[in-house]
Amino acid sequence: MYVVINGGGKVASYLGRQLIENGHAVAVIEKREEIAEKLITELPGEPLIIHGDGCDSIYQEDAGVARADVFVAATGDDDDNLVSCQLAKVAFGVPRAVARVNNPKNEHIFNALGIEAISSTTIISRLIEEEATVGDIRTLMALRKGHMAIVEIELPVDRCVVCGKKVADLNLPVDCLIVALIRDEDAIPVHGDTEMQPGDVVIAFTNVAHERALKKALTGA
C-alpha cells in the first residue's frame, strides 16, 4: 500500500515509521526544510521525503498522490489539513483521505466533505492499517478510545488450522473472544462446542494490541 503523509512533525513521523515497519511504501511532504532533512535520517528504509507545501498541487504531484491508496494530513493546522485533503481528493482522486483534527469542533466539517477526521494518532494509524488487511482482518468498530475493537477474520478455504475444532479448545490470545460466525448468509452465535468450517467469517472482540496474534491463531498466517 502507498501512503502519502502531509506534515513531518511527531504525528507524521510516528505514522510514517509504523507504516514503513509494516511493509508499506510512504512519502512525506514537509514545508520546513530542517524537519524534512531530519526525517531523511530518522525514518527507516528509503521513504520519499519532499520539502514543500502539501497544500500545493505541485508537491502533491511530486509525491505521487495520484497513485496513493491513502492521503494523510497530519499537520498541526486544521486549515492546512482540510485544504490538502480536499486537493488530494479533487485534483488527484485519492480514494481515501484521513486528517488529524486538532480542534474537535472541526470534525463535522471534515466528515461532511468525505474526509475521515481523527483526533487520535493511534486511531489514525489503525484506520490506515485496517485498509491494508482487508480480507484477512478488518475492524468493524473501535471501542474504548481505540484500545479494543470488534473485528472480522475470514478463515482460509484450504489448510484451515482451526476448522473442525471446538471454540473452547482454541488457543486464543489474551483479551480475545469469538462472538459469532458468518457462514454463507447466516449469522451463527458461538458457544464453547461450536466448530468452525473453511470460509467462515469470524467476528471477534479483541484488544487492538493482540489483533495480529489473533489472526495467526485463526489462520496460521
| Residue type (1 letter), 128 | I
How many whole angstroms separate alpha carbon 174 and alpha carbon 146? 17
What's the CATH number where 155 sits? 3.30.70.1450
Is the Cβ–Cβ distance between 44 and 21 less than 8 Å?
A: yes
- Domain that includes residue 208, residue range: 136-219
- Domain shared by 117 and 152, yes or no: no
- Domain shared by 147 and 191, yes or no: yes
Tell me what the pLDDT averaged over the chain comes to: 85
- Domain shared by 113 and 156, yes or no: no
How many whole angstroms separate alpha carbon 194 and alpha carbon 14? 41
pLDDT per residue as tens digits for the range 26-68: 999 999 999 999 999 989 988 999 999 999 999 999 999 999 9
- Domain shared by 163 and 54, yes or no: no
How many residues comprise the chain? 221
- Domain shared by 119 and 145, yes or no: no
- Domain shared by 179 and 126, yes or no: no
pTM comes to: 0.58
Of 130, 153, 180, the residue at which a domain comes to its end is 130
Of 81, 103, 130, the residue at which a domain comes to its end is 130
Of 106, 130, 154, the residue at which a domain comes to its end is 130
C-alpha cell at 129: 492499517
Computed on alpha carbons and rounded to an integer, the radius of gyration of the chain in Å comes to 20
